[in-house]
Chains A and B, each alone.
Chain A
Amino acid sequence: MSADGNGPMLRTEGLAKTFTLHLQGGLRLPVLRRVDLDVHPGECVALAGPSGAGKSTLLRSLYGNYRAEAGRILVRHDGAIVDIASALPRTVVGVRARTLGYVSQFLRVVPRVPAIDIVAQAARGIPYDEARTRAASWLTRLNIPARLQNLPPATFSGGEQQRVNLARGFIGCHPILLLDEPTASLDNDNRDIVIGMIREAKEAGVAIVGIFHDAAVRESVADRLYHVTPLQDAA
């Protein structure tokens, strides 16, 4: 993997993750073992596997939200290669700001902040007014009308919250995007809009790793599947 030019944007080497539950007497739950994954610009890799296999765990590990137990998670960032698994926390903050975006499954609600500001604050490096304009257009595209845009999303439906979450994830224009069940609580119309957004991102060269429960979505956007197999043993 090289820091510039062609080659993957994201690569994992021997990534492993085991949870140790100290409150349950140190019970160890291995979830990931020897994950080797490459994602190239413009490519969408879908994580496939049964429920509980560790797909979300893998996605969160890529983002640095879960700590990798072993292995490397290499990311092309600011003209260099960064290993998320061993980087300093402040480096990871920089990677997340500029290179690695993540759309979680559920919006984490911040009290008082209107939806439009939640989205605008995720637009980096542009003046506030312009960020708001862009946020408004993303939200409108995702069928969040203007009257809702100025409200904090705490009282929104699950689907509405998820659409705010999606707008927030896409507005940052990150070169790598991690999507965890992006269409899970959406109706068909909104699902199709999201498919369109993912396709546009791919065309713009974004490298995407996603979990798509909906087979139709998966088939529309995924170039490859990566199978996450559940590990049976618990020590």
Chain B
Amino acid sequence: MQGYNFAYLDERTKRMIRRAVLKAVAIPGHQIPFGSREMPLPFGWGTGGLQVTAAVLGPEDVLKVIDQGADDTTNAVSLRRFFALTAGVATTTHTRDATVIQTRHRIPETALREDQIIVYQVPQPEPLSKLEPSRAETRQMHALAEYGLMHVKLYEDITRFGQVSISYDYPVMVNGRYLMAPSPIPAFDNPKMDMMPALQLFGAGREKRIYAVPPYTRVRSLDFEDHPFRLTRAPHACTLCGATDSYLDEVVTDDRGGRMFVCSDTDYCEERRAAAEAAA
């Protein structure tokens, strides 16, 4: 595309972002401030993820973009097109074929590899933000590893609901040191982050923070000894492919209360269906 640098951002900006990414990788789970740029997208629509992807993308990369697990929603399509236009990179909907995956609110069901990078779009990078309004204070808490307050929140949930009520953006301890907000992925996806072979990068454009989980890093969801973290998913099989181990979307099919459950990860579902057909 004429008049634009590769992947839209100028090289100096990419360098600044890469420096932040390097720092983030060096301190797993720790939020690094960065000079978030104006992107052709409003804040709150994935500008952070966009900037991180733009900074790490190379001409040989194959890009996949998903939004709530789907490649075909408006946002996923727009973002994929954006990079196709400004970087000319190959794009794909297949997790296995991608080298860079930008995601909003899901981790693909297919296990990722060492040669892949996953970039998360993050609305609120501060895991303590709802409990402690002062950013100065939360910075101190991170610096001193004072995370009692988050456990208070879990305590309150158990008191009120009998269990932790956090269903997405469930706080995790990274590398045994930093409390991190994994972005609004469902709690169901948290275990995938633990010891993942791929590099995980997190970009929050509006809040101007970047953080990272290097490959093969311990990521533990917060819990109590006597109320351990549990996976929750709808107790159904995918109507389309029959999977019982994937995260499901509930789809309303008619106006008489009809509904079906389908895999949120469209690529995963398609793959399973294709495999079933081939076997049949």
Q: Do chains A and B touch in the complex (CB under 8 A)?
A: no
B-to-A contact residues, CB < 8 Å:
none
A-to-B contact residues, CB < 8 Å:
none
